[in-house]
Structure 1
Amino acid sequence: MSIKDGFLVELERETNNTRRIIDRLKDEDLAYKPHEKSMSLGDLLGHVVELHNWVGTALLKNDFNLQTDYQPLKPSTVAELKEALDAGYKVNEQQISSFPEEDWFKTWTMRVGDYVIGEMPKLGALRFVIFNHLIHHRGQATVYLRLLNIAVPGLYGPSADEQK
């Protein structure tokens, strides 16, 4: 199995997990904030979806500058989240499928202006900056669901809401 074949499996599974959360929401849920310092559920899931979509955008660059290359996804409806996730999945799948094996080891830099946040091989950027980061924020979203009394889907096995 090649590196990209492994990432294609992970991409599909993580995209499906994110979709399972979004599918449980109504538009009015997106405004929910559990605390004044928290992001709204819409902003949080907008960030999760945009992180998914960094596979097809940010990862293709060798130098990703948050100041010039990043535009936050600010969805106002659940349909917008679904559209962005689904459109991004197709691009992500195509980009990973056509990504040359040797490019996984090229250095990827993330910065804000001239300040370098980190440098790592693209392989590490996909795992650490994109997948781990979106999984972390998606986990936060499951807490929001619990607080809204929306059944939490089992993402890596059954959830308490799926137990009978």
Structure 2
Amino acid sequence: MNNLQFFITCWQKELKRTMVALKALPSDMSRLQYRPHEKSRSAIEIIGHILPHAEDLLKAVDTMEIAEHNRTFDSIAEACEYYQTNSQLLMSKLQLVDEQLWENGMVLLTADGIILYEGIMMNLFWDLLFDTIHHRGQLTTYYRAMGAPNPSVYGPTAEGMESFMAAAILKSKTRK
């Protein structure tokens, strides 16, 4: 497995985890205005920052520019569909990328038309995947404060363990 194939595999795994996190958000969009501190992004701002990464990378395969942008969503369902669709298109497009381009092609990272950085395609693509994971982790610290159970992204949460233990206790009582 080369680096590009590994990236595709990792994106697909993290896509599933991000979808779990998105689907666990409160459907009441007003609750996504929550931010733990005035300098922190709100939950909806985090979503609007990380979900466009898939679309930005999809376009960058052709343009060699990651034009980072934020996006707003009217519903969690819309956000999920947008991210799922762009991720699937990105995975299909990356299957056609030449390994030489992946390992040596120079890509610009821009925001609002300003060049922030220029780097090798694979490095910038990995950076945006890691940025998604990083901010998704931040987002998961918001759930309980927003009145939602914390999603199980990499393993059980407190809520998951409570349910598991309750079921185990009930099962052990019925065996007696």
Poorly superposed stretches of 4+, deviation over 4 Å: 112-115
* Structure 1 residues 16-53: Cα deviation after superposition (integer angstroms, max 9, x where no partner): 11110111121333232333333321221121211233
Residues 106-157 of structure 1: CA distance to partner in whole angstroms, max 9, x if unpaired? 11122347753222211101111x1111111111110111322422223222
Give 1:71-150 correspondences, 5 Å limit: 71-104=69-102, 105-112=104-111, 115-128=114-127, 130-150=128-148
Relative to structure 1, is the Cα distance of residues 30 and 108 closer, same or farther in structure 2, using a 3 angstrom cutoff? same
Distance 2:138 2:129 in 1: 14
**Sequence identity, in percent?**
23
The unaligned stretches of length 5 or more in structure 2 are 163-176
Q: TM-score, normalising length from structure 1?
A: 0.84
SS in 1 for 2:142: helix
**Structure 1 regions of 5+ residues with no counterpart?**
none
In structure 2, C-alpha distance between the alignment counterparts of 1:53 and 1:159, rounded to whole Å = 30
Mapped to 2, the partners of 1:114 and 1:102 lie a distance apart of 27
Contact 1:46–1:72 (8 Å) recurs in 2:
yes
Tell me which amino acid in the other structure corresponds to 1:152: N
Secondary structure of 1:34's partner? Answer: coil
**1-side partners of 2:111 and 2:51: how far apart?**
21
Q: Is contact 1:7–1:96 with CA below 8 Å preserved after alignment? A: no
- Counterpart of 1:22? 22
Residue correspondences, number: 159
- TM-score with structure 2 setting the length: 0.79
